[in-house]
Amino acid sequence: MKIGDKIRIFRIQKGYSQENMSQLLGISLNAYSKIERGETDPGFSRLEQIAEVLETSIMEILAHGEKNINYVQNCLNGLVGIGYVINQSHDELKHNIDTLNKRLHVLEERLKKKDITQ
């Protein structure tokens, strides 16, 4: 099951239309629709925003309907990107999300201090 399908399930369970979601997220209906269709990767910050609107967690969205999704990070020049890897357990998913959150916190602190060297 794709991330967009999972988001759609949560949206329907909340009784929201795509138009409601796009308004709550502050994006166009077309942009939101592309997320649900899997044409656009929502990215970490947008996924956080979607989870908040749907009153759930990123982990719940990612794990919904299957146990074999792992959420991993890819760092490139200090910018964090998110990828999805199949065939790992729910515990590994949680561990990787926790690790990602810790690394994001470290990056945020470094940026606050303008200490971006390793």
pLDDT of residue 59: 82
Model confidence at 36, in pLDDT bands (50, 70, 90)? very high
Q: Which of 5-9, 26-30, 70-74, 84-88 has the highest mean pLDDT?
A: 26-30
From the list 52, 64, 48, 41, the residue with the least C-alpha distance to 104 is: 48
Q: pLDDT tier at 65 (50, 70, 90 boundaries)?
A: low
Q: CA–CA separation, 107 vs 22, rounded Å? A: 29
Strand partners, 69: 86
Would strands 79-86 and 69-76 be described as parallel, antiparallel, or unpaired?
antiparallel
Strand ranges, E, within the chain: 69-76, 79-86
